[in-house]
Every structure is written in C-alpha cells, then in structure tokens.
Chain A
Amino acid sequence: MSKVYVSYNNIISSLGFDSVSVAKEVIQGKSGLKQIADASIMPEPFMSSLIDDEVLSAAFNNTSEKKYTKLEQMFIASLQDTFSQSNIALTDRVGLIISTTKGNIDALDDANDFPKECAYLDVLAKNVTNYFGFKTEPIVLSNACVSGVLAVAVAKRYIKSNMFDQVFIVAGDLVTEFILSGFNSFQALSSEICKPYDKNRIGINIGEVAVSALVTKNEANLSDDAVEILGEASCNDANHISGPSRTGEGLYRSIKSALNQANLTSEDIDYISAHGTATMYNDEMEAIALNRLGLEHTPVNSLKGYFGHTLGASGLLETIIGMQALKQNKLIKTLGFAEMGVTQPINIIEETTEKPLNTFLKTASGFGGCNTAVIFKKVK
C-alpha cells in the first residue's frame, strides 16, 4: 500500500500569513493573543488572536464581483497559497475537505450583512469549491475541536480507498459572539492569556486562523517540511457530551490504535503536540491518558498560548507547526506554563530547544467525547 503524506501548507493568522513566518514567530516565543475590547462580540474585554480584516482583504485580493464572507476569504487566501505551492491540476482525482465547527455562523446574527443562507456549511463549501474550480464535491467535516486533525485522517482514508490521489484540506473558524457567549456560559473562558497544564490555569482563549495543507500519495513532489502519516485513529470517550473522560479513555484508545497502525511503540515518539486547552479537566485528562500509555517522559507541548484555541482549525494548525518543528529540529515551549498543575507527571517543554526529531504525535479532544491521534514521520 502506498504511503500518504502531508505536504505543502499555509497558515493565515494574527502571527502572519504563511507557515514559515508564523512558525518563526512561535519559535521566538511570540504570542498572537492580546486583549480585545469589542462589545459587538463580547460585553467584557477578552483575550484572543484575531485576523485583521484589512490585511486579509489585501491578501485575498478579490477580483470577482462576488462578495465573500470573512471566513470564506480566510479559507480562499490560505488555499491559494497552498494551491500555488503544490502546482497540481484540479482533476476528478483531487478532493477538497473543509474542516469547521461553525462556518459562517455569524450570518445568523440579525446585524450581519450576509443572508442567513450563508450559515449552511454546504453553501460555504460551494463558494470555496467554485472559486478554485474543484472538479469533485467538497467534503465538510464538522467534528467539534478534533475537526482539523481528523481532516488529515479522513484525507488519508479517501486516498487509501482510491477515491482521490490528492486532497486539499482547509480548516478554520471565526471568533464570534455566538462562540464566545457559549464558552462563557460554560465558564470556560480565561480573561488572561491561557496557561496550559499550569497550576493556576483558569480556562481557554478562543482565537481564529485558517490553515490548509495538501495530503498526497505523490512522493515526487513533496514540500521540504513534508511528513508521512504513519497511523491515525479517532475514538470516543463514551462518557459525557461536554466533560472530558476522567480516565482519558477515548484519547488513550486513539493513541493506542494510531501506534498499532504505525507499528510503533511509545518509545518511538519524539514529541507530542497535545491539545492543552488550559481548562482544568482537559489538561488533567490528557496527563492521565499519556501516563496510561507510558508517554509521561516524552516531551509535550500545547500551542494554545500562541494562538488560543482555534476550534475546528486547531488540530491542523498544530500539525503544521509540528511539521516545522520537525524540519527545524526544535522542541517548542508551552507558552503560559510555569508550574505543574496536573496530578500525573508529564514532560512539558518549558524552553524552546534544539533536538533531533523524526516523529511526532498530534492529539486533540472535543465536545461530544471525540478524540483524535495522528502520528507523523519526517520525510527529508
């Protein structure tokens, strides 16, 4: 069976509009989070990383008559970059997966200029598909906060089942009043920069990005940060629709299944890019799952202190940063972490350091009890 890779990619974020620039900022320890005061989104000031509308329109450079929503502009701008780097023709063997939890949900707001129809995810998908002229029907994946990394797994599966040779995946969510009011009603938001795994963590920050990547079986045309997808799995906690499992069951099973498929053991993983939302229960759950797998000594980070929780995009965003970390042989520190705040020992990366790296594990967990784990290996 042929190998499947994650190759050319892009990040549109408050830290920059391409993966290399964004990774550079992250490695230098710069956070895209800052305090925002915008009463139209949230009554009180909040911590977030937002994409500047003007910078985005300049980057998108829309030449058509059609008007695109902010999220559509983000998706198109991100895909445009990945698409031009990839340099492949759109045939019926090229698929498109769009990962998002809420899409154009801001269109439901009476104050929004776009018609409410835009809130349908298939309408959003059609706008992106038509912009590029994809020959195949777009696939929208909406699986809460694992959507971004699950897209990598789903793309691989469609390539393995011979539906496609290459799949573009694009993931993104907006920071909206809809989302912030909901997480606030869950008392999950932190008014300070989030502190993953830290003793004094109080909650999450929500951020926005759009990210994209090419998933391909074509070994001949790979990016210099390309990784092979060795194993992937997505297991449910079967416990609660919003609270993470106290035993980390779904995450434990996801990682175990991904390791089995990759034919690897815990010792083979060089580092873990975890979910680390900085809520009490999520971080604790992850520490428990990692311990059950003998991964407590493996260096682990959360990137939420750089971007906030970017919802349906986070898993793919963190995969792309992980690819850059592998390429540059850098363990990236968990920004915001100071003092161990989980009951089970884990090896949090506290300073960004050089280390030869070949493999990494990306994990994510979300509402609905979903968990996803994907294992990657450096190609070059």
Chain B
Amino acid sequence: MDALKQELKESLVEQLNLEDITPAEIGDDDMLFGDGLGLDSIDALELIVMLDKTYGIKLTDPKQGRAIFESINTMSAYIAEHRTK
C-alpha cells in the first residue's frame, strides 16, 4: 500500500505539472482539491484518465471522483480494491 501511495504522489506531481511541490510534501491525508493541493476541475478529469490508463479503472460518473480523489489515502484504497492492471 505504501508503494502505491508513493507511486500516486509521484504521478500526481508529474502528470498534473505541480512544479512547486515535491512528492514528499504531499501528506497521505492532505486534501487534494480546494484548500489543500489546490487541484481544479481539469485535474479531476485528468485523474479519471489516469485511473483508466494506469490501473484499468473506468469511472463513468464524474461525481464518483469527488470521494475517491479526496486524498492519497482514499485514492489508494479505491485503486487497491478495483484495479484491473
């Protein structure tokens, strides 16, 4: 699980072009959207593509994303349970 969390932090920084943040600075419980990391609606859509491309998880309802992408903890838990690759 820790390896998955680390992997997620790295891909977040790289794929969402978070130039002024390092993976180490993202806490497992940090809010990714809103006041936390400050991600926006395009980032949320980008994360949906990442789930599909890297983990083989298809989200059909964008509203589902809100709970899943709350933090690294929620994301990793969802991926661990639903991944197909």
Chain A residues engaging chain B, CB cutoff 8 angstroms: 185-187, 240-243
Contacts and interface: CB of A to CB of B under 8 A. Distances in A.
A240 B41 contact: yes
B40 A240 contact: yes
B40 A187 contact: no
Interface string B41-67: 110010011000000000000100000
Interface in B25-48: 40-42, 45, 48
A277 to B, nearest CB: 16
B41 A187 contact: no
Nearest to A241: B42
A185 B45 contact: yes
8 contacts: A185-B49, A186-B45, A187-B48, A187-B62, A240-B40, A240-B41, A242-B41, A242-B42
Nearest to B61: A187
Contacts of B48: 187
A186 B49 CA distance: 10
B45 A243 contact: no
Nearest to A187: B62
B41 A243 contact: yes
Given A187-B48, A243-B41, 5 more contacts: A185-B45, A186-B45, A187-B45, A240-B40, A241-B42
Residue with the highest number of chain B CB atoms closer than 10 Å, among A185, A187, A240, A242: A187
Nearest to B65: A187
A186 B43 CA distance: 11
Contacts of A187: 45, 48, 62
